[in-house]
Structure 1
Amino acid sequence: MKFKRILALILCCMLFSGCWDRIEIDKKIFISTIGIDAGKDIGKEKEQLKNIKPYDPFQERIENKKLSITYGFPDISEMGPGKSGTAKDQFMVVDASSMEDADVKAAGKSSRSIFLGHTKLIVISSSILEAPDTFKEIVDYLNRNPSLNKMMNVVVAEGKAEDFIKYTPNTEKNIETFISGLMEASKKNATILPLTLNEMLVLLDENGSALIPKISMEKDKGKNEVVLSGVAVIKNYALKGFLTPVEVSDVELLRGKLKGGKKVIYLNNHPLDYSIDGVEREIKLYGDKNKLQFNINISLEGQIKGYYIDDDINSKEKLGEIEKDLGMAITQECDIIAKMLQREFGVDPIGLREYLEKHNPSLWKQVKGNWEEVYKNASIVTNVDVKARRIGISK
């Protein structure tokens, strides 16, 4: 009986010991946004470090500022009972040799503990993607750091990431809330391709390629405005180019993942808007290891949202002509985008490799050692069938 009491006491001590590393909430900085820019020493590593040996002492004294990291965090004085649920961001900028070095230097600049578990957005400058080896170092850090929120959004900035981090939108108090809202609206806007950190890491781990949403700064009535549209195309951890918003929607069509959006054709000099409600995609494979042919058949369902009141499109014949014109126009768009991805960028966001590996493993074994060349020379044929199920309220 005495033994049971002692055992119960020991278990209580083990289970209700409390948190050994507890830090009061007002002693933490909750990083909400991270911006990664190229520092002044990027690209100079070989020259600066050519005489440094791995066993040399005091290597931390070497000033190699190849990264400029901007940390955004909410002003907690604006949060609390009776106040808004969001707060304006404050900022901290550090020059560093690596992401971990930046975290350490940021901690040295603040009297509070740096916490990365609530980060919502990471902004990568396009200049970083012009230095693939440095980007690989960043990806390795993002992979290894267990405290990072892997569900945060990732975007590429066309310009300096720091400028975007410090931008205050008209409708929100900080950039991360603004971008998150736009990402959530992607179901209605096919030009936005949302991407989380975890998704980016998986894509890069497969073959070093990914499509990352792009943000840019545009002038609107004399004021700078952040726009999220298009994607940056990454191949072998380097920036290959950008796709426009219209091209992004066609990529989503080819992937069979389009959740909404619209297409426009001009009929008798008037725009006809076709709103897409549903997408079905089917891939068929022909040929052998010497020449592959992928047929991508896409079925669209949607409705006509707007045209021209003086022209009657209610007849079956007229509607059939419109469906045919839409199908031909979208098919040609998809053909152009598929060839661009294949020959200009050399990336496969459509999933043709995955289809081949899953549905014809014996053929995949024959070509996997030379997949990039096989993919580049493959024939990709698209066909889009359009159905206008509804044409709105008629006379």
Structure 2
Amino acid sequence: MKKARIIPFLLSIILLTGCWDNVELANTGFVISIAVDKYEKEQKEIKDSDSQSDASQEKEESNLEDRENKPEKEKDEEEKEDEDEEEKDHNEEDEKDEEKSTGKPRFTLTMEMPSDEIMINGASSKGEKIIKSVSASTTGRAMEMVNAYSSKEAYYGHTKIIIMGEALLKDKDLFSEAMDSLEQNREISQKVIILSSRGKGSEILTAEVTEETMAGFFMSDFYKKNNESIAYRQSLSSLVMDMENNNAFIIPEIEVTSDSLKTGGAAVMKDKELIAWLSDKELEAYLFVKAMGAGAVIETEYEGIFVPIETEKTKSKISFKDEGNLICTVDISVNANTGEYKFIGIDMKDNEVREEIERKTEEKIKKDIEDFIIKLNKEYKADVLEFTDKLKKKDYDLYLKYSDDWEKTFEHMEAHINVDLNLKESGTAK
């Protein structure tokens, strides 16, 4: 009897419950990738502006000839006009603020979303992806506006990657504003991967590649692989931390090859703007110093044969001393294997052969790191390896001595690199 009374009560509770915070799949556009670019006018407008510029130059040359033949009073009046023009140039920052306040486009955001076919059959299916592009005065406004161009509401909870275009990275103010907006956006995960692109970020998302349907899924799967290839991962939260604590940092690069997407190299950022690009080899040197070199494959030449050395684990220890100028010593240890038992004419079980290959590989890693640090010191003048932070933690007195003019200190700092490679015998258990 009691059970009969309880059952209707329980059923009524079930009917009252609901999924008030659920995401309706049929009405939702899942944004997997976002490309953030600096807004650029249409090519036609650029051409018109160039033509006007050429005409203005001809007019200026003509006016210069007339000025030489005019009385002093007229010259003074024209000089005053020139001063007014100079004052106009000084108001560029005010114009930027005006563009923001009047809603003129400053950013272009390109969104990559899966089609219904991809949603049903998975990321590996060959369904057409959906691309939406919106230009607005702020990134937040662009993300809101994308709903006006789609029958589905954009959802950013599953966004995998955000790609920054080259022009945006070169504009300190726009890059800083975009990062601030993304960091404060509660719809986007702080773990989202940040990438850089030579050219427009949108070109990565719109590229036709045969191997991967969507860039976001490709990069997400790529970073999940273990020891398949060397790579540097920069999340939104770690990039924000780098911007707050370091004057210089890097953002990994993504590019389109003939038939696929590829990551390798990185953008070098200093004072929150792009100053250079790292090559694949330079990024590899960076990762060895940061003790993240596991997965690198180094081809070492021995008697005319290139032996692939696969790194499994790397360690790095950094120390400093003062000898009239700052000396930095980087000790790197590497565990590696050859991946095969025997090469043509090379017996990898011969101790002398193995020791010689180890020595050659150590020298190769050492030289690549030395060349990379010299480029950082002399050419880029960018401490992306965070030596100043290491110095502060390891020897605070030495840090106080050199930190006042760290850029000059860093430029003249000597780096001594030591590499100890342990090559496992082929076929032995890891």
For the criterion TM > 0.5, the same-fold answer is yes
Larger Rg: 2
Equivalent of 1:160 in 185, 189, 200: 200
- Matched residues in 1 for 2:347 and 2:408: separation? 50
Deviation (angstroms), 1:120: 0.9
- Matched residues in 2 for 1:278 and 1:51: separation? 53
Deviates more, 1:108-117 or 1:373-382: 108-117
- Matched residues in 2 for 1:280 and 1:119: separation? 33
Rate the CA distance shift 1:181–1:17 in 2: closer, same or farther, 3 A: closer
Superimposed CA distance per residue, residues 43-95 of structure 1 (whole angstroms, 9 cap, x where no aligned partner): x9x899767698x9xx8783522221111222246534xx4367643121111
Q: How does 1:1-395 map to 2 (within 5 A)?
A: 24-40=24-40, 62=102, 64-76=104-116, 78-80=118-120, 83-84=121-122, 88-185=128-225, 187-190=227-230, 192-219=231-258, 224-287=259-322, 291-305=325-339, 308-392=343-427
| One-letter code aligned to 2:300 | I
Deviation (angstroms), 1:170: 2.9
- Matched residues in 2 for 1:99 and 1:390: separation? 54
| One-letter code aligned to 1:238 | E
Superimposed CA distance per residue, residues 108-129 of structure 1 (whole angstroms, 9 cap, x where no aligned partner): 3335433222211111111211
Deviation (angstroms), 1:137: 1.1
Considering fraction of residues, name the structure with more strand: 1
- 8 Å Cα contact 2:162-2:193 kept in structure 1: yes
- 8 Å Cα contact 2:29-2:153 kept in structure 1: yes
Considering fraction of residues, name the structure with more helix: 2
Superimposed CA distance per residue, residues 143-195 of structure 1 (whole angstroms, 9 cap, x where no aligned partner): 222221111111112222222112354343311111222222363212x2122
Deviates more, 1:152-161 or 1:16-25: 16-25
- Give the SS at the match of 2:188: coil
- 8 Å Cα contact 2:315-2:334 kept in structure 1: yes
- Matched residues in 2 for 1:280 and 1:100: separation? 41
- Give the SS at the match of 1:264: strand
Give the TM-score, by structure 2 length: 0.76
Rate the CA distance shift 1:266–1:21 in 2: closer, same or farther, 3 A: closer
- 8 Å Cα contact 1:230-1:243 kept in structure 2: yes
| One-letter code aligned to 1:344 | E
Deviation (angstroms), 1:367: 3.1
Superimposed CA distance per residue, residues 181-222 of structure 1 (whole angstroms, 9 cap, x where no aligned partner): 2222363212x2122111111112212432111122233xxx
- Give the SS at the match of 2:169: helix
- 8 Å Cα contact 2:289-2:316 kept in structure 1: yes
- Matched residues in 1 for 2:94 and 2:382: separation? 38
- 8 Å Cα contact 2:159-2:216 kept in structure 1: no
Aligned residue pairs, count: 367
- 8 Å Cα contact 1:303-1:392 kept in structure 2: no
- 8 Å Cα contact 1:168-1:175 kept in structure 2: no
- Matched residues in 2 for 1:38 and 1:53: separation? 13
| One-letter code aligned to 2:145 | K
| One-letter code aligned to 1:157 | S
Deviates more, 1:118-127 or 1:353-362: 353-362
Residue in 1 aligned with 2:7?
A: none
Which 5+ residue runs of structure 1 have no aligned equivalent? 1-15
Rate the CA distance shift 1:274–1:155 in 2: closer, same or farther, 3 A: same
- Matched residues in 2 for 1:203 and 1:379: separation? 24
- 8 Å Cα contact 1:91-1:166 kept in structure 2: yes
Rate the CA distance shift 1:21–1:265 in 2: closer, same or farther, 3 A: closer
- 8 Å Cα contact 1:331-1:384 kept in structure 2: yes
- Matched residues in 2 for 1:138 and 1:73: separation? 21
Deviation (angstroms), 1:291: 1.8
- Matched residues in 2 for 1:61 and 1:273: separation? 57
Which 5+ residue runs of structure 2 have no aligned equivalent? 1-15, 43-48, 50-88
RMSD between superposed Cα atoms in Å: 3.2
| One-letter code aligned to 2:33 | T
- Matched residues in 2 for 1:380 and 1:33: separation? 40
Give the TM-score, by structure 1 length: 0.82
